[in-house]
């Protein structure tokens, strides 16, 4: 017999012992949901004598599935034959399809296409349709196809609902893509779910067989399920309804990849006989941290309602620091980490941010003070592909003989210089001892390649020469802007239109910010590139390091004694792209809840009062995040002390050398475009972060303001048209 009383609290025991009929377990952060799932499976086998292979448990990652298997094995003592089926959704579907897919007209020896295979296939489809990348980018097309599949939409449905020619073309590409998958007897990852659902819907005998085989179904992280997964669960439990789903609507943060929060919110409507059990006792965090997290998320409307509590002590108040700028913010965070590590040298520490580009200042600060760190769930800032691309452009602008850098960008972004052409140029360069750029000039004059290749090479050569000419008369940030625009890199990413591309654009704008910081320090291009090289080297990278830098999404499921949540400002967190939709704002708030509940003992919140946005020249005043205002004031300790950490490895000037940003610039003979604190508005009604409507360009966000009154100039980022500079008195803008 499996003893429960000594290992579980009353609510957990109730969840474990409720084995028949539908069960919804609302498990708050740190409430022991994985423990409940494993004990529930153990209880079914050991105490209810259910045959192990009659139990199916599904989760989202192979790691989670493996951990669940291992925990279950430690509980079992009876030695009953067989094991419960624990797997990911996709693995389970593969097993079903390998046996029965012939019933819907495909062979059992189907191939599973990964993301690389999918990209190759969609490129073939677009080529067959005669569409160039600028009409439908392959990545954008794949992203939209996946989105349609997750919502259960077929090509014909998408076509009927199309509101413009681009969506019509997308629907046609979707249809062709699916036909080519069938021709190749292949499935993509979305198809694994959709084909299984199709199989069970069309063949009741197969559905009944699976219902009879798996008498008990358990689903982890139910708030992250999409429409296809929802349908699959319904079909697998249609006869017996012995389904247990475990989730937390307050941690639903993946709508951008198809997750539908309504699946968990509507569970009681789908299963009228459901029993609902809330796990509200938290075993992770202090009372103050839980109080803050609960207060924030309680402002959401789309939730079932629960309030976490703990037997832990109140713990220290939540520290709030408002730095003068991003560097000041990063230095304060490092100070907190160093102070914590002196007391608790073995503790893991996390710095959490909303978007990847924010990591730069914290990476540089860690290196400055010789702190070992790791960037979790992504590359270090200067190691990201788009950053290395632009640095390569800078390197060959400075040194045209840099072979490696030139080869990296000769066809990035794609400009029609194929592999055969590149290899021929390389061979000639090696044989003649000429640089690659010299060889390019030679083959152009000698007319050695096809007209198309020669045209592409000539354009590339002109671009590099243009960048070299700009070296002497343009500051580094302007040189970077020139390269980004004339190389076509920005246009390439915008046309791609995916979430990933937007992230890469944000990273590139942060590189422009880094260039402006470098200019403020009086550095040359050589010094800027040296700095980037030193920051990107891996000497201080340690996977076992005590400091982890990561996005909040990457932190889900983890916990740390000390958490520093940075950049808590309107437009950054919540993100500017979420501000036009109340549902998106609620997801940002859930993301904040996830961030706060990663902390066990100490929680530090920081923001910069002034920050450069989107590579802008000036510093703009920020607004404190609404999430800060939702935390009870009695739980917050405002940190106003000066940052006082001695530099170890970096001797250059720092914003923190002065009492204010203005003083920093004054000491260096420069001025800074900062508005007085009392002057809130840029122009009559507009400021950075405002959303505006234009008669031609649609809705966009203000990213830069110059001047005051009707004559002020605004730089506005429009989703479909990119950055546009507008004069207020002529633009006819309306604030949204």
Q: How far apart are CA 616 and CA 478, in angstroms?
A: 10
Q: Which two tokens stand for residue 153?
A: 């939409």
Q: Are 290 and 313 in contact (CB under 8 A)?
A: no
Biggest alpha carbon distance in the chain?
86
Partners of 724 in the beta sheet?
Answer: 716
Using DSSP bridges, classify how beta strands 713-718 and 722-727 pair: parallel, antiparallel or unpaired. antiparallel
Burial class (CB in 10 A: 0-12, 13-18, 19+), 544: exposed
For 731, phi then psi, to 5°, come to: -75, -25
- CB count within 10 Å of CB 698 equals 12
In this structure, what token pair is assigned to residue 459? 């354009």
Strands of 67-176 (E only): list them.
85-88, 111-112
Query: 71: part of which helix (H) or strand (E)?
Result: helix 62-75
The single residue listed with the structure tokens 């592409």 is 456
Place of tokens 């520290």: 319
Q: In angstroms, rounded to a whole number, what is the distance separating the alpha carbons of residues 392 and 396?
A: 6
Cis amide bond preceding 413, omega within 30: yes
What is the Cα–Cα distance from 499 to 514, expressed in whole angstroms?
23
Closest to 716 (Cα-Cα) out of 684, 692, 696, 735: 692
| Residue 669 CA neighbour count, 13 Å, CB half | 3
Q: Report the SS3 class of residue 713.
A: strand
Give the E-state strand segments of 22-160 in sequence order: 23-27, 55-59, 85-88, 111-112
Q: How many Å apart are CA 613 and CA 719, to the nearest integer?
A: 16
Active site residues: 33-34, 220-221, 251, 598
What is the chain's Cα-based Rg?
28
* Residue 289 backbone phi and psi in degrees, to 5: -65, -45
Provide the token pair at 710. 């009707």
3-state secondary structure of 66: helix
Peptide bond into 574 cis (omega under 30): yes
Residue keyed to tokens 């610039």: 665
Q: Which residues does 684 contact at the CB level (< 8 Å), separation at least 6? A: 709, 710, 712, 728
DSSP structure string for 546-578: SEEEEEHHHHTT--EEEEEE---BTBBTTBGGG
- CA 496, 502, 506, 507 torsion-angle sign: negative
């Amino acid at each position: 017999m499996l003893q429960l009383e000594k290992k579980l609290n009353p609510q957990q025991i109730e969840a474990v012992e409720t084995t028949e009929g539908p069960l919804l377990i609302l498990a708050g952060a740190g409430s022991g949901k994985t423990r409940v799932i494993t004990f529930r499976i153990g209880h079914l086998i050991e105490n209810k004598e259910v045959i192990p292979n009659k139990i199916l448990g599904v989760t989202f990652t192979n790691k989670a599935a493996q951990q669940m298997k291992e925990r279950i094995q430690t509980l079992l003592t009876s030695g009953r034959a067989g094991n419960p089926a624990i797997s990911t959704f996709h693995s389970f579907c593969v097993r079903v399809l390998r046996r029965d897919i012939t019933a819907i007209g495909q062979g059992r020896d189907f191939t599973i296409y990964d993301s690389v295979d999918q990209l190759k296939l969609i490129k073939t489809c677009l080529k067959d349709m005669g569409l160039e990348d600028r009409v439908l980018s392959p990545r954008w097309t794949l992203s939209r196809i996946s989105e349609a599949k997750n919502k259960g939409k077929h090509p014909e449905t998408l076509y009927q609902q199309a509101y413009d020619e681009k969506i019509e073309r997308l629907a046609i590409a979707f249809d062709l893509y699916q036909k080519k998958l069938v021709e190749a007897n292949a499935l993509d990852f979305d198809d694994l779910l959709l084909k299984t659902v199709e199989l069970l819907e069309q063949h009741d005998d197969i559905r009944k067989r699976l219902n009879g085989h798996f008498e008990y179904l358990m689903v982890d992280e139910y708030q992250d399920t999409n429409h296809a997964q929802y349908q699959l669960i319904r079909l697998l439990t249609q006869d017996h309804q012995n389904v247990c789903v475990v989730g937390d609507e307050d941690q639903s943060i993946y709508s951008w990849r198809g997750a539908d929060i309504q699946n968990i919110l509507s569970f009681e409507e789908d299963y009228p006989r459901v029993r609902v059990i809330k796990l509200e006792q938290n075993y992770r965090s202090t009372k103050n941290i839980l109080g803050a997290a609960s207060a924030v998320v309680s402002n959401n409307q789309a939730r079932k309602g629960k309030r976490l509590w703990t037997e832990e002590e109140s713990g220290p108040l939540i520290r709030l620091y408002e730095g003068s700028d991003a560097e000041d913010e990063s230095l304060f965070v490092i100070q907190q980490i160093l102070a914590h590590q002196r007391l608790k040298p073995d503790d893991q520490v996390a710095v959490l941010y909303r978007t990847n580009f924010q990591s730069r200042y914290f990476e540089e600060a860690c290196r400055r003070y010789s702190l070992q760190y790791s960037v979790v769930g992504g590359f270090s800032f200067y190691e990201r592909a788009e950053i290395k691309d632009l640095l390569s452009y800078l390197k060959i602008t400075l040194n045209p003989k840099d072979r490696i850098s030139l080869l990296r960008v000769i066809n990035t972004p794609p400009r029609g210089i194929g592999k055969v052409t590149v290899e021929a140029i390389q061979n000639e360069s090696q044989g003649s001892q000429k640089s690659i750029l010299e060889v390019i000039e030679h083959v152009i004059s000698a007319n050695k390649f096809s007209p198309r290749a020669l045209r592409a090479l000539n354009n590339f050569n002109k671009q590099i020469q243009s960048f070299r000419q700009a070296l002497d008369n343009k500051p580094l940030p302007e040189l970077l802007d020139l390269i980004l625009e004339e190389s076509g890199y920005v246009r390439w990413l915008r046309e791609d239109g995916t979430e990933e591309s937007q992230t890469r654009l944000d990273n590139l704008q942060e590189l422009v910010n880094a260039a402006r910081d470098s200019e403020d320090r009086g550095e040359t291009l050589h010094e800027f590139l040296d700095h980037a090289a030193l920051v990107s080297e891996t000497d201080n990278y340690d996977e076992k390091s005590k400091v982890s830098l990561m996005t909040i999404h990457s932190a889900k499921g983890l916990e740390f004694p000390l958490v520093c949540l940075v950049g808590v400002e309107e437009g950054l967190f919540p993100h500017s792209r979420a501000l036009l939709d109340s549902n998106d704002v609620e997801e940002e708030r859930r993301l904040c809840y996830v961030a706060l509940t990663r902390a066990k003992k100490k929680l530090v919140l920081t923001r910069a009062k002034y920050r450069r946005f989107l590579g802008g020249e000036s510093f703009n005043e920020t607004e404190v995040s609404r999430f800060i205002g939702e935390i009870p004031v009695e739980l917050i300790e405002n940190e106003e002390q000066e940052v006082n950490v001695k530099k170890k490895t970096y001797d250059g000037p720092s914003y923190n050398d002065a009492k204010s940003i203005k003083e920093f610039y004054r000491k260096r003979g420069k001025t800074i475009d900062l508005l007085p604190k009392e002057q809130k508005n840029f122009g009559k009604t507009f400021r950075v972060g405002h959303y505006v409507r234009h008669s031609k360009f649609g809705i966009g966000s203000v990213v830069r303001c110059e001047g005051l009154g009707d004559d002020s100039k605004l730089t506005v980022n429009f989703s479909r048209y990119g950055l546009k500079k507008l004069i207020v008195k002529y633009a006819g803008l309306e604030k949204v």
